[in-house]
Chain A
Amino acid sequence: MNDVSSSTPVADQAAMLSMRGITKRFPGVIANQDVDFDVVAGEVHTLLGENGAGKSTLMKILFGLYRPDEGEVRLNGKPSGITSPSTAIEAGVGMVHQHFMLVPTLTVAENVALGLPSGRGPLTNLDAVSARVSEISEAHGLSVDPSTEVWRLSVGERQRVEIIKALYRDARLLVLDEPTAVLTPQEVDDLFVILRRMTDEGRGLVFISHKLHEVMALSDRISVLRNGQMVGQTIPSATSREELAEMMVGRSVKLVPDRPPVETGDVRLEISNLSVRGDRDTIAVKNVDLSIKGGEIVGIAGVSGNGQREIAEAVAGLRAPEPGGSIRFDGVDVASMGTRARRDAGLAYVPEERMADGAIADFSVSENLILVDHASKSFTKSGLFDRQRIADHAKKLVERFAVKTPTIDTPTSSLSGGNIQKVIIARELMSDPAVLIAAQPTRGVDIGSAEYIHSQLIEQRDKSTATLLISEDLDEVLGLSDRIAVMFEGEIVAIVDAADATREGIGLLMAGVVDAA
């Protein structure tokens, strides 16, 4: 793509971090090939790429967890000398992990003090740590009370604790690994303000994300990795989301699926007064009413943990609802039926946890494709499996859904996430369901597969299926849904027509601000 690094103003300054000609080979694979990457003080440099593109290898090299086969890492012009995460901290390089590394039962200050080298023998002066945490928190607008136990904090606040940990150790260069994955849109906005304040102080940030609108909003520079190689570097004003996606994938992709209007039919999924208990036996879904017509996709937007999983499991027959509610498929009350009977009544279910609930890792692709319908007459002959027909069936679906697999007998666990998800989608759509529950259908899936899965979901909608889409990815909800239901603390707080929905309005509703839309 257009290499504009030389024209960016920041490139003239001396780089804090300079990785030159980094090559890392694993047996059979080149994870990084001649990669150049640098960060100058005061910039946000985004590292963009699909899973397996080499982003984490590059970061592991930065933190000394891998040694590069070729190339060198320099900090402030000198060889970095980083051999482990702890030497990285000494060198002023910090990391905010996607999964927080906090002890929930300890206070913020105690978490910050964990692993700190103590100046006073074996004892840590917690009061001093607290005072310094307050100071940092105030200076950066983080608003975190050092004496609060971490378990009391919201997800957004926990992330700020992670940032405080890095700032406390005075990290000049901070790597943020998918920091927005668990945040509401408002929390993301708040985070970006905080990050900007940090760059204003002259810190350098590496932002790893695959959410393109965030990348466009935050970055000063964007570097794109594909198959271990740096395929381009650009700045937001010179590019577009579509172009970035194309750089990541290597071909043009549709980020927003075509969604031609279709005539909706009768109500096929009708949920009324549904209440469901969660794993902790507290009410996770409260008196929910929702009906979906054939030919309609209703997306549920919400920060995860607000009852979405429980509603999906209740409709799928995996979680018993509280008495008094009803779930109807095509008018038939299925609330007391098991999953098998509901599937016979027209249910298809794409579970949120692909590997735990959606497919059996050790089963072959063809076995997973008949996981639901293995007992159907079309796959058996006088009680035994008709292996020819099962193989034909698998080959047909693998071809139709463009599943990349060496053979249909390959263990499903050795496929990529996107291809495993295609196997599940293929299996579930095969029955031409009345009701489809699609939970996180493209989470962690490469852009190409996501694009394909989206087109299949819309094609299925056009065949008059009622689809309940549950996704943490607001772009996905906005792009696929005909109507959007926003869940907050177990309740549907609003149902908005897709035509009237805005990212900001939905975001406020997700945070529980009801009169927003």
Chain B
Amino acid sequence: MKRLVGASIPLMAAFVAFLFGAIMLLAIGANPWEGLQALVSGAFGSGDRIAATAIKATPLILVGAGITIAFRASVVNIGGEGQIIAGALASTAVGLSFDTLPALLFVPLLLLSGVIGGAIVGAIPGALKAYASVNEILSTIMLNIVMVQLMNYLLRGPLIDPLEVEAGTRIPQTERLPDAAALPVIIPGTRMHLGFPIAVLAAIGAYYLLWRTPLGFRLRAVGHSPNAARAAGIDVKRNITYALGISGSLGGLAGAILVYGSEGQRMVTDGSAAGFTGSAGFNGIVAALFGGLHPLWTIPSSFLFGGLLTGATNMQRALQVPAPIAVAINGIVVVFVVSSGKVRTRLDRFMDARSELNES
């Protein structure tokens, strides 16, 4: 009963958010029903659209699964953006240093370098929290800013496409990466590439890690009760570092996939973090919350959010509404879903109090 009510809360939140979205559409004179239709058909209307949605969902799944790992160890990771950038930069640097390699070797190598890049940028705030009591919310956010500046420096300087320098346009992007490095398309005729199944496998892997391995057991033990974990001989500080490192490594993997699954086959930015990540580092948090902070539920919830992102673009085109309205609806969904967590804890407390009364 409790579980059922708990699970329905995010759906109710989404429903209320759409209601608000409808009011906003009405206010600017658009038909909300048509808007919804455009949204849904834009997200899931054809094979192509579904592929686009899946591609949008891919980094959300990865970041979201990473969030659930951190959450189970009772640490908060707001550094998804920075970790994505770190993974992208690391895999780009590795990709640029080889003219070509067999794809079977090249692709795993690049993904691995993304994982390592993200893990390092995740583990830094982890170690700072564990060994120096630095609040990880602040340090992960701050590292996002550091990583954006590093990205801008590298893409405008050392890693910039020589052609951009020659032409004098100086768009901050790297040269086109080797074709053998591209993530292979798995459904011919669509853009669906290997990244999506990798992300799904990673989320399943996160589930296995947390509930089927000694390392995950330690992370959860530290998350539930650091004191009891310590008394049982578990190194709490090391495991906090691991939690953020692993969480970051999934963001890094998302970064590598963003680069090598992109149409341009290169890393490009407009100078902001979102210019490269599409805000996946933040939207992934929302997807994880929407999925009840369970790695497996993160998969469908990311898919829904991916749909919202692709569908909103379509709605904007179909209804000729200004672009910000799509962003605003997105934002409202986020606000409602996140605050539904609060509703859920209140509900839990209420139900616990009731069952406690039954016991006494």
Contacts and interface: CB of A to CB of B under 8 A. Distances in A.
Interface of A: 26-29, 31, 57, 316, 318, 338-340, 342-343, 349, 351, 353, 356-363, 367, 370-372, 374-375, 379-380, 383-385, 387
Given A27-B357, A361-B224, A361-B225, A383 B213 contact: yes
A371 B213 contact: no
B231 A340 contact: no
Nearest to B222: A360
Contact of A374 (B214, B225, B231): B214
B227 interface: yes
Contacts of A318: 230-231
A28 B358 contact: yes
Contacts of A362: 224-225
Given A26-B357, A27-B357, A340-B234, A358 B213 contact: no
Contact of A339 (B213, B214, B224, B233): B233
A245 to B, nearest CB: 24
B34 interface: no
Contacts of A359: 228
Contacts of B229: 360, 371
A514 to B, nearest CB: 33
B228 A371 contact: yes
A413 to B, nearest CB: 10
Interface in B196-216: 208, 212-214
Contact of A29 (B220, B221, B224, B359): B359
Nearest to A343: B233
Nearest to B359: A29
A384 B215 CA distance: 10
B350 to A, nearest CB: 15
Given A384-B208, A385-B212, A356 B357 contact: no
A349 B213 CA distance: 24
Contacts of A358: 228, 231
A27 B230 CA distance: 38
Nearest to A359: B228
17 contacts: A26-B359, A27-B357, A28-B358, A28-B359, A340-B235, A343-B233, A349-B231, A351-B228, A356-B225, A357-B230, A363-B221, A370-B217, A371-B228, A371-B229, A374-B217, A375-B214, A385-B212
Contacts of B224: 360-363
A155 to B, nearest CB: 25
Nearest to B221: A360
Contacts of B230: 318, 339, 357
A28 B360 CA distance: 9
A31 B358 CA distance: 10
Contacts of B193: none
A361 B352 CA distance: 14
Contacts of B213: 380, 383-385
A447 to B, nearest CB: 20
